[in-house]
Amino acid sequence: MAIDREKFPPLYRTVAANDAGLESHSYVPDGLDVLTSHPLNDAPGANPEQFIGLALSTCLNATLEAIEERRDLPHSSQVHTIVEMARDTRGFQFYLTAEVKIPGVDHETALAMVDLAERRCPVAKLIGDNDNVVVKLVTEFSAATPVEG
Amino acid sequence: MAIDREKFPPLYRTVAANDAGLESHSYVPDGLDVLTSHPLNDAPGANPEQFIGLALSTCLNATLEAIEERRDLPHSSQVHTIVEMARDTRGFQFYLTAEVKIPGVDHETALAMVDLAERRCPVAKLIGDNDNVVVKLVTEFSAATPVEG
């Protein structure tokens, strides 16, 4: 199962950094620079939960867009990933639910597209086998209200 | 191994969305809103590679910061995650190398801290078992130059 990396050299390389911890900022040299803060305080700032949710939503929807293009379908897919953080017996866990809406096609076609996207999207390849990660087709997105403190 | 989620209700919930595909923007409702673009074009914008790198760097360094605090050490850890994208027999793969620098402690202590952080950080728990993901202690960060097109 190991991939022959010599045969497939990198097409793209980037760096994402955090130097000062959670109450600081995370950045890509010469690129995105984002204020960060702990998810449970009121300070403005993004957090790891949001970054991994953005990774999955963007990657899955980019993959769906490519599938739509290949099938000559107009782009109608949307992906909203709900990320929950909870305690565990040791430390914390993140739980991801990627809700996919494809209003432009019938249910059967949409299901097949989600299944294919999950197998193609590189972020889903990294985390999709995890029990904490669910990708599902929906007709309406969940409300996903904040947890009351 | 399944986690009893009833016993550990969510402490935090957020949503991360992409509606219009890779050449658009990804956002957290009432939060971060980031221009996105394909990693291989010159348009400004972040991409899934950067989002997942930011997730791992921020989460690992937040975990290291907590470990430093618990040991009454000053914060000195930094995490730079190199993300590479390459073709595969089917589609694409992402490869992550999280380089961790902890200049404030001796090598042995730093190694033990990285090992603990890898087991505690929720993002590492999600992706760390994957063969494409490496977390390692370094004394200097790699140059990680862009791939020449």
Tell whether B40 is covered by a domain: yes
Tell whether B129 is covered by a domain: yes
A129 closest CA partner among B144, B132, B138, B57: B132
Tell whether A64 is covered by a domain: yes
Total of domains in chain A: 2
Query: Residues B48-81: pLDDT tens digits?
Result: 999 999 999 999 999 999 999 999 999 999 999 9
Q: A133 and A80, same structural domain?
A: yes
Collect all residues of chain A within an 8 Å Cβ-Cβ radius of residue B118: none
Beta bridge partners of A35: A25
Contact A81, A121 (CB under 8 A): no
What are the b/e assignments for A39-69, b being 16+ CB within 10 Å? beeeeebbbbbbbbbbbbbbbbbbbbbbbbe
Complete DSSP assignment for B40-59:
TSSS--B-HHHHHHHHHHHH
Q: Do A21 and B91 touch (CB under 8 A)?
A: no
What is the ipTM metric for this complex? 0.97
Q: Do B85 and A26 touch (CB under 8 A)?
A: no
- Give the pTM: 0.97
pLDDT of residue A42: 86
Q: B101 and B32, same structural domain?
A: no
Q: In this model, does residue A1 exceed pLDDT 70?
A: no
Q: B65 and B133, same structural domain?
A: yes
Residues B1 and A59: their CA atoms lie apart, in Å, by 28
Contact B86, B93 (CB under 8 A): yes
Q: A68 and A110, same structural domain?
A: yes
Q: B77 and B120, same structural domain?
A: yes
A146 token code pair: 């904040």
Tell whether A147 is covered by a domain: no
Residue ranges of E strands in A19-132: 25-27, 33-35, 78-87, 92-101
Q: How confident is the model at residue B91 (pLDDT cuts 50, 70, 90)?
A: confident
Q: Do B50 and A32 touch (CB under 8 A)?
A: yes
Segment B92-105 shows an average pLDDT of 97
Q: B91 and B53, same structural domain?
A: yes
Task: Give the percent of chain A with pLDDT over 70.
Answer: 98
Q: B52 and B123, same structural domain?
A: yes
Query: Residues A26-44: pLDDT tens digits?
Result: 999 989 999 999 999 989 9
Question: Which residue among A28, A61, A85 places its CB closest to the CB of B12?
Answer: A85
Residues B60 and B100: their CA atoms lie apart, in Å, by 9
Q: What chain B residue is nearest to A93 in terms of C-alpha separation?
A: B122
Q: In this model, does residue A132 exceed pLDDT 60?
A: yes
Residues A96 and B112: their CA atoms lie apart, in Å, by 29
Segment B16-33 shows an average pLDDT of 96
Question: Which residue among A11, A82, A122 places its CB closest to the CB of B13?
Answer: A82
Tell whether A144 is covered by a domain: no
Q: What chain B residue is nearest to A142 in terms of C-alpha separation?
A: B15
Q: A87 and A14, same structural domain?
A: no
Residues 6+ apart with CB under 8 A from A90: B119, B120
Contact A75, B44 (CB under 8 A): no
Q: A62 and A37, same structural domain?
A: no
Q: B74 and B22, same structural domain?
A: no
Residues B74 and B72: their CA atoms lie apart, in Å, by 7
Q: Which domain holds residue A132?
A: 48-137
A12 closest CA partner among B146, B65, B130, B125: B146
Task: Give the percent of chain B with pLDDT over 90.
Answer: 89
Q: What is the CATH number of the domain that holds A91?
A: 3.30.300.20
B53 closest CA partner among B66, B67, B39, B65: B39
Q: Residue A11, Cβ neighbours under 10 Å: how many?
A: 14
More confident residue, B112 or A6: B112
Tell whether B142 is covered by a domain: no
User: Which one-letter DSSP state was computed for residue A139?
Assistant: S
Q: What chain A residue is nearest to B31 in terms of C-alpha separation?
A: A46
> Residue B134: phi, psi to the nearest 5?
-130, 135
Collect all residues of chain A within an 8 Å Cβ-Cβ radius of residue B28: 46, 50, 53-54
3-class state of residue A45 by DSSP: coil
Q: B128 and B60, same structural domain?
A: yes
Q: B73 and B40, same structural domain?
A: no
